[in-house]
Amino acid sequence: MRLGIIGFPQSGKTTIFNALTRGDQPVTMSGGRVEIHTAVVDVPDSRVDRLASLFNPQKTTYAKVTYADIAGLEGANGKKGMAGPLLNQLNQVDGLLHVVRCFENTSVPHSLGSVDPMRDIASMDADLLLNDLIAVERKLERLTEEIRRNVKGDKAQMEREAALFARFNDALQQEIPLRDMDFTEEALKEVSGFGFLTLKPMLILLNLSEGQAAPVIDYPHKNSLVVSLQGKLEMDLAQLPSDEAELFKSAYGLEELGLAKVINLSYDLLGYQSFFTVGEDEVRAWRARRGASAYDAAGVIHSDLQKGFIRAEVISQEDLLALGGLNQARSNGKLRLEGKDYFLHDGDIMHVRFSL
């Protein structure tokens, strides 16, 4: 699971990257070069902490999310769209985190001369949409030509693709991002390899100065969220030792760092949920798509578990914690045996019975 952090120059994009990852990347400008910094971070989850307290395992493992700070997006891509190296990086991410500057700082002037969050959001969306439109028009032209020339292949399939890309073209011409359209699962699979930018989930992050109130932003698009963060403050706190950070949090009246909220929203936005395996050796959070079956989840743990799947022992983490352990859960009849088609719920604890 990989999210690309994007934003215009001087938006504080790398500051947010450092805050989310507890990193220390320089926050100076890249000079228009395509630079990528990545970091893998734990998804904060108090359920993992409570389960670890119960089992006292040798190892505790959280779910992970990868952030990529993608520099080089200047916001003036012209009619030809983004440069190839930049577009390749953006195509590879599962979702986008757009850092929008809301803070005033005369020593760091905005590249467009003034701070205007709605303008920047609209400008970024226009850039992403333009690149999708270029890709869709090129694909549609090729399909139309192949159908006209009666090129060898599945003509019915080519016609279905042409109809689908014609829909995309109509939407993009009307400045409608692809994530606002309704798709069948089959259609989504057909286009997944194109990496369309406006099809990717979008998290708008309003980068505030210390104590600044977040502006009201209306962003009525599907698979999109808006969140605010005091970026510089959060970065400074994230880079402190935990005991010092706690003192400063108290001084600023913060119950928790906002970065935990942003990480969890990123995780949720991409349609993931967590399930757990527990024991004295390890308490571990695993990532699965919402709507995943027990069979799908077994494959997340190990392909052998999926191949030899017989049944899954399942209990919610709330029930397990209330009962005090797996033995108590078994004696109380709370460990359920579920088959391949059981739909996993967020927070389920699952152990797989299998045979090869």
Residue-wise pLDDT for 217-258, tens only, equals: 999 999 999 999 999 988 988 888 878 878 887 777 777 777
Phi, psi dihedrals of residue 306, rounded to the nearest 5°: -70, -40
Please say if the pLDDT value at position 87 is more than 60: yes
The residue-averaged pLDDT of 118-141 equals: 93
Residue 254, pLDDT score: 73
Please say if the pLDDT value at position 109 is more than 80: yes
Per-residue pLDDT band at 90 (split at 50, 70, 90):
confident
Please say if the pLDDT value at position 77 is more than 60: no
Counting runs of H as helices and runs of E as strands, what totals does the chain give?
A: 13, 12
d(CA 259, CA 44): 10
d(CA 244, CA 248): 6
The average confidence (pLDDT) of the chain is 88
Our CA angle for 110, 88, 219, nearest 5°, is: 50
The residue-averaged pLDDT of 122-149 equals: 90
Map out the domains of the chain with their CATH numbers. 291-354 (3.10.20.30)
Model's pTM, two decimal places?
Answer: 0.88
Residue 283, pLDDT score: 97
The residue-averaged pLDDT of 279-303 equals: 95
Answer whether 12's CB lies under 8 Å from 207's CB. Answer: yes
The residue-averaged pLDDT of 5-12 equals: 90
Residue 35, pLDDT score: 74
d(CA 56, CA 282): 9
Per-residue pLDDT band at 27 (split at 50, 70, 90):
low
Residue 131, pLDDT score: 92
Residue-wise pLDDT for 294-323, tens only, equals: 999 999 999 999 999 999 999 999 999 999
Residue-wise pLDDT for 55-64, tens only, equals: 999 999 999 9
Answer whether 288's CB lies under 8 Å from 273's CB. Answer: yes
Phi, psi dihedrals of residue 273, rounded to the nearest 5°: -135, 165
Report the residue count for the chain. 356
Per-residue pLDDT band at 76 (split at 50, 70, 90):
very low
Residue 1, pLDDT score: 86
Residue 91, pLDDT score: 86
Residue 33, pLDDT score: 60
What one-character-per-residue DSSP string does 108-170 give?
S--TTSS--HHHHHHHHHHHHHHHHHHHHHHHHHHHHHHHHTT-SS-HHHHHHHHHHHHHHHH
Phi, psi dihedrals of residue 226, rounded to the nearest 5°: -120, 130
CB proximity list for 231: less than 8 A, separation 6 or greater: 12, 15, 16, 19, 99, 103, 207, 208
Per-residue pLDDT band at 81 (split at 50, 70, 90):
low
Residue-wise pLDDT for 158-193, tens only, equals: 888 888 899 999 999 999 999 999 888 777 887 888
The residue-averaged pLDDT of 88-114 equals: 89
Among the residues of 302-350, which ranges form H helices?
303-307, 317-323, 326-331
Please say if the pLDDT value at position 135 is more than 60: yes
